Amino acid sequence: MRTTAVIVAAGSGTRFGRPKHRALLANIELWQRSVDAFVAAGTDQVVVVGDVPGGLPGGPRRRDSVAIGLAAVAPDTEWVLIHDAARPLVTAEVIARVVERSMVGDVDGVIPAVPVADTIKRVDGESVLETVDRSTLVSVQTPQAFRLSVLRDAHAADQLDATDDAAMVERLGGTVVQVMGDPMNFKITVPEDLVLADAHLRAAADRE
Ligand code: CTP
Ligand code: MG
């Protein structure tokens, strides 16, 4: 089965304070860490979208950047893995779990997810309305794997925004399943996240 990774590394990094993908994490740029992880996992082709060496120019919204990447995917690709460059601590294990579940062949999409740790409440401004049952909720990560044809159909079907790719496939009625993600595969969103990622890598190096 031929798999291609599309790593999205565009966007303005509003919450980070600047575009974040060339920020250094233990001497390696964020986007490069994701590329290395997919190469190590044996992905056949890696397409990068964003203002990084070898990257395709990004689009205004995340889904537009994904569409630009999809257009560059080799036509004989069966499964495409969409990954946020902002998740530099992705491991070969998480990639393998997603790919192995895809290979079963019975679904359109596979996403890595982790349980929600905090209590979740519905609010309206200052008012707390209710406590939501978190046992049926998960936090969703990338890489998310899709049959290439299904994700292309989902992009063609509408122009609505989406915070992840699976949401677009779900809208089309596609079958999406979850596999275990990794708490350390968090997204670098604010500067403090980079400090946490750096601390994680230092601790891992000390254990070696
Ligand atoms: N992304 C992208 N193109 C966009 C917007 C986002 O490729 N137009 C990518 C980012 O590079 C990132 C992932 O989508 O890897 C998740 O986006 P996010 O963390 O929201 O990054 P930004 O949109 O840059 O940050 P912010 O929302 O704080 O502006
Ligand atoms: Mg964003």
3-class SS string, the chain:
CCEEEEEECCCCCCCCCCCCCCCEECCEEHHHHHHHHHHHCCCCEEEEECCCCCCECCCCCHHHHHHHHHCCCCCCCCEEEEEECCCCCCCHHHHHHHHHHHHCCCCCEEEEEEECCCCEEEEECCEEEEEECHHHCEEECCCEEEEHHHHHHHHHHCCCCCCCHHHHHHHCCCCEEEEECCCCCCCCCCHHHHHHHHHHHHHHHHHC
Give the number of the atom of ligand 1 that is nearest the alpha carbon of residue 85.
15
CA distance 51 to 154: 26
**What pLDDT, on the 0 to 100 scale, is given for residue 194?**
98
Q: Which residues, in sequence order, are bridge partners of residue 3?
A: 79
Average pLDDT over residues 185-205: 96
Give CA 61 to chain center in angstroms.
14
Whether ligand 1 lies within 6 angstroms of the CB of 191 is answered as no
Residue of 15, 62, 90, 193 to test ligand 1 pocket, by largest number of atoms within 8 Å of CB: 62
Longest alpha-carbon distance in the chain: 53
**CA-atom Rg of the chain in angstroms:** 17
SS3 115: strand
pLDDT in tens, 62-94: 999 999 999 999 999 999 999 999 999 999 999
CA distance 106 to 189: 34
**What pLDDT, on the 0 to 100 scale, is given for residue 208?**
85
Q: For ligand 1, atom 11, which residue shows the shortest CA distance? A: 9
**Residue found by looking up tokens 């070969």 in the block:** 92
CA distance 19 to 50: 10
Whether ligand 1 lies within 6 angstroms of the CB of 50 is answered as yes
Q: For ligand 1, atom 19, which residue shows the shortest CA distance? A: 189
**pLDDT of 1 above 90:** no
Q: Model pTM?
A: 0.97
pLDDT in tens, 5-31: 999 999 999 999 999 999 999 999 999
Whether ligand 1 lies within 6 angstroms of the CB of 18 is answered as no
pLDDT in tens, 124-162: 999 999 999 999 999 999 999 999 999 999 999 999 999
